[in-house]
Structure formats: structure tokens, C-alpha cells
Amino acid sequence: MALIGDLSEIGLKGVLNLVTSINGTGKLELVGDSVHIFLYFKEGVIVNAEGDKDPISSFEKAVGLTTGKFEFVKMDTVKESEHAKDLKTLTDNIESIIKRWELLKKRFLNYDIVFDLGEAKSEEVKMTPEEWKLLSLIREPTTLSSLLINSPFGEMKTLEILSSLFDKGLITLSFETEDVVKEEDLVIPIKETDWYAVNMPIYGEKNTAFYKRIDGKKDFPTICKEMGITLREGRQILRYLVTNGKISLKKKPK
């Protein structure tokens, strides 16, 4: 028998406590507007997570969800990640992750944010290798959605690095008000054909409708136009499909 509910009513922490209390072995599926995450448990203890760059970032991303549906399905066995011990530590310290998300959401109110290069607040600015990697992706005005797709880091870590770069004056941020095509939008979505991609379900009517229009020829703006949605809505859908391994992106030839 599956456990089904709404995250807005119980919260992820409550769901985790519920799975622990029943000593559950199985899969917890979390579905938000543009988020699809799986958490795996063995005898009530989390042992794996999927839905972002790696198990750690997937769990952190799950903690950031405050709305959406959840379903826990019991299974006989689950695949245990090499990060199982780290995931257990994270669940024990979930309150600190919740507080980190609260701070990030105050700065990044939504995904309609455009980043550009700024001017350092001092002549000597110390940067970590991770900050250098992310800064290298911002060579021109770049949307948050694009950065989350292309970043080598998970969503939470990417946002924290962006926050640090902003505090150092190395980037600026502004909220997008016009729905205009950007260089990053000139891509052609390609359906992935491996077993994981084919069997991964798609949730949401718009996500499904967008996916059905992908033919390997039409570019991203064209699909948005056909669906009658804004580019900003389309970028959210694109991020959802890429994150869940359903598609890859090919640069549109000039």
C-alpha cells in the first residue's frame, strides 16, 4: 500500500519521520511544478536520492520543496548509494538545510532572474575553484534557469555560489521583465533514448505537451510559440525535462 499526500500539509520532514516510523523500504517520489525527485529508503533509513546532479544535491533540492505531491511505494530492495552515510547525516541535520533554503529564497524570489558580470568590490577578491567554474558560465546576461541547467553543481550549491559571487560584486542580478529570446534559448531539444529516459514518467500537462512537440528539428522558441506559452514558462519546462534526463540540448546552427 502506497502512502500519498501533499507536502504543503505535512512537509518533507514530516514525511521522512513517517517513513522512519514504519521502518519502510522503498521509494519516495516527490513531484513539484518543475521538480521530480526520488528518495530511496532501506528499513526507514535513506540510502539514495535522484533528481539533481548527484544524491547529495538531490536530497538538498528535495528539502527546498514546500509544495507538491509525495508518494511512498514499498519495495523489496533498493539500490544503496555510496553516499548513503552522508545522506543519513543530512537527514539528521535537516533543520540547517531548511534554514539555508530560507535565506536563498529571500534573495532569489523566483527563476526570472538574469545574471551579468559585475565589478569586484575590492581589487583583491579571493575566489574558490567552484566560484571560478560558475563565473565562467556568465559571459553575457544569463538567466538563472540556464545556469541551473549548465552548472556542474546541484541547485542549492549553485544558488549559494551565486549568492557569494553577488556579495563579492562579481556578478549583478536583475529581474526579467520582458519575454525576449536570449542566446541561450537558441537550442534544439533532443529526446534521450536510453532506458532511464524512456521509462521516466513526466508530470504536469504543460511538461507533457512540450515533450510531445519535440521532434529534434524545432528549436526551443518555436515550441514555446506553438504552445502559446512565454519563454520564461518554457525555460522552467526545459529545466524540468533536462534535470529528469528526458532530453538533451543541441545548439541551434547559425
pLDDT digit string (tens) for 98-140?
Answer: 999 999 999 998 888 999 998 876 678 889 999 999 999 998 8
pLDDT digits (tens, 9 = 90+) for 1-47: 578 999 999 999 999 999 999 999 999 999 987 789 999 999 999 99
Locate all alpha helices (DSSP H) within 22-152, ordered by sequence.
Answer: 55-63, 84-92, 94-107, 129-135, 144-150
The residue ranges of every structural domain in the chain are: 3-103, 108-175, 183-251
In terms of Cβ atoms closer than 10 Å to its own Cβ (0-12, 13-18, 19+), residue 149 is middle
Distance, in Å, from the CA atom of 44 to the CA atom of 16, rounded to the nearest integer, reads 8
Q: What is the pLDDT of residue 122?
A: 67
- Predicted TM-score (pTM) above 0.75: yes
pLDDT digits (tens, 9 = 90+) for 62-104: 999 999 999 999 999 999 999 999 999 999 999 999 999 999 9
In three-state secondary structure terms, 217 is coil
| CATH class (in words) of the domain with range 183-251 | mainly alpha
Class at the top of the CATH hierarchy for domain 108-175: mainly alpha
